[in-house]
Amino acid sequence: MEQTMFGEAKIKAVGDLMRDDERVVIIGGAGFGGLLHSKYVKPLFDEFDSRILRTPIAELGFCGMGIGAAIAGLYPIVTIGTGSFAFEAWPQICNEAPNITYMSGGQVKVPVMFHALVGIRISGAAQHSARPQAMLMQVAGLQVIAPSRAADVGPLLKAARDSERPTFWVDHSLLFEETDLYPPGKAPPALGKAEVVRAGKDVTIVGYSIDLVRCLKAAVELEKEGIDAEVIDLRTLTPLDWETVCESVGKTGRLVVADECYPSASVASEIASIFADKGFGLLKKPAKRLNFPAVPVPLSPPLEMHLLPTVGKIVQAAKELVA
């Protein structure tokens, strides 16, 4: 299997969107990667130089501009940079973009995509490590996508554009150099459709973005110990595919969810809540949710590592459930 880095695939995906339709523009100009990855991003920025609006440090202003430009016929990809900076633009992302189509009785479309490198990036400390995705799931009218596999990113971006809905692309700062551990699915990814990346019968492990990578690595470890894990990539957080998760837990009766968000009102708690409702009675053991504990992200490396939902913790949780 050819090994494409996720980062390269996403740069190609953005380039394809831009080649395909000249109304696609980039606003922001903060990279799709960190300093180390600028050599991969540079060709894209060179090719489309005239369609990139390099902005001042003005997240509130340029995210709002993205909304306006979308209304006026463009398809802006607004690059915010570090996920924590999205909070500077919160009023536009959460209280303007998602309401406009509804407030106009469906007449005004807002085809804009916000992109940010969210998450625990290692040593980002309290103000550069936000995982805003669970908060964004509280925003009615906003689509939230979180591709993490090279094969998925292109089709998902295209689907998001075709949907003409305001979309937040939750990208993770540590995903760039990851390569797919498992082959792509048979059907192209669709909005609101999770994927069973690895089929298994003993325990269901659910993740997305960097946490999916950790889940898959955990599955490899578990296999060595004779535990056959089924791993699900949520891929899109809004809409959320509860059916695929239910189906899997129907088989395994056991659930582990890995999610860098804080525990309360998180992606993990949303997944677990399925089993108090539509999936009631399917669990044979209590679900295990692995979140980042509810403390600001500390700088000190041992503290940060202590709090992260690591591969080791996922393995441990699965083993406890299967034992």
Partner 1 sequence: MISVLSKDECLEALRKMLMIRRFEEACIDAAHENKVPGHFHVYIGQEATGVGVMSTLDRGDYVHSTHRNHGHLIARGADPNKALAEILGKAGGYAGGKAGTLHGCAPDLNFPLSSGIVAGILPIAVGTAYGLRVRKLPNVSVVFFGDGAMEEGAAYEALNLAALWKLPILFVCENNTAEVDRRPGGGQYHAPNMSIIELTDLPRIMGITTQIVDGLDLGAVWTAARDARNRAVNGEGPTFFEVRTHTWPGGQWPTLITGRTDISHAWTNEVPAQYEKNANWFKRNDPVLSVAREMLKLGIASNAEIEGIDMRVRTEIDSAVKFANDSPFPSLESALENVWPH
Ligand X SMILES: Cc1ncc(C[n+]2csc(CCOP(=O)(O)OP(=O)(O)O)c2C)c(N)n1
Indicate the residue among 89 and 197 with the shorter CB distance to partner 1. Answer: 89
Cα dihedral sign, 70-11-213-216: positive
For the CB of residue 55, give the shortest distance to partner 1 in the complex, in Å.
6
Pairing relation of β-strands 288-290 and 195-198?
unpaired
Residues near ligand X (CB under 6 A) are 57, 59, 85, 88
Place of tokens 């540079």: 42
Q: Which does 55 bind (CB under 5 to 8 A by kind): partner 1, ligand X, none?
A: partner 1
Indicate the residue among 57 and 276 with the shorter CB distance to partner 1. Answer: 57
Query: Does residue 57 touch partner 1 according to CB under 8 A?
Result: yes
7: nearest Cα among 147, 208, 163, 122: 147
Indicate the residue among 87 and 196 with the shorter CB distance to partner 1. Answer: 87
Indicate the residue among 6 and 169 with the shorter CB distance to ligand X. Answer: 169
Place of tokens 């959320």: 240
Taking CB under 8 A as the criterion, which residues in 173-202 touch partner 1?
none
> What is the C-alpha to C-alpha distance for residues 229 and 219, in angstroms, rounded to an integer?
6
Indicate the residue among 79 and 266 with the shorter CB distance to ligand X. Answer: 79
> What is the C-alpha to C-alpha distance for residues 188 and 142, in angstroms, rounded to an integer?
22
Distances (CA, A) of 122 to 166, 197, 233, 297: 29, 26, 23, 9
Query: Does residue 36 touch partner 1 according to CB under 8 A?
Result: no
Indicate the residue among 108 and 303 with the shorter CB distance to partner 1. Answer: 303
7: nearest Cα among 153, 170, 163, 160: 153
67: nearest Cα among 33, 30, 37, 108: 108
Query: Does residue 307 touch partner 1 according to CB under 8 A?
Result: yes
Determine the interface stretch with partner 1 among 49-57, 102-110, 174-182, 311-319 (rule: CB under 8 A). 49-57
Site string for partner 1, 90-129 (x = CB under 8 A): --------------------------------xxxxxxx-
For the CB of residue 109, give the shortest distance to partner 1 in the complex, in Å.
27
The 75-82 sheet, strands edge to edge: 52-54, 24-28, 75-82, 113-118, 167-172, 143-145, 236-238
**Tokens standing for 110?**
């807002």
Residue-by-residue DSSP string for 184-201: PPSSPP-TT--EEEE--S
Q: Which does 140 bind (CB under 5 to 8 A by kind): partner 1, ligand X, none?
A: none
Q: Which of 2, 3, 35, 226 binds partner 1 (CB under 8 A)?
A: 35
Distances (CA, A) of 153 to 190, 191, 254: 11, 11, 29
Q: Which of 21, 36, 42, 54 binds partner 1 (CB under 8 A)?
A: 54
Taking CB under 8 A as the criterion, which residues in 277-306 touch partner 1?
293-296, 298-303, 306
Indicate the residue among 120 and 232 with the shorter CB distance to partner 1. Answer: 120
Distances (CA, A) of 178 to 4, 7, 39, 83, 173: 8, 8, 16, 19, 11
Q: Which does 239 bind (CB under 5 to 8 A by kind): partner 1, ligand X, none?
A: none
Asked whether 300 and 125 are in contact (CB, 8 A), the reply is no
For the CB of residue 84, give the shortest distance to ligand X in the complex, in Å.
8
* Binding residues vs partner 1 (CB under 8 A): 29, 35, 53-61, 84-85, 88, 122-128, 293-296, 298-303, 306-307
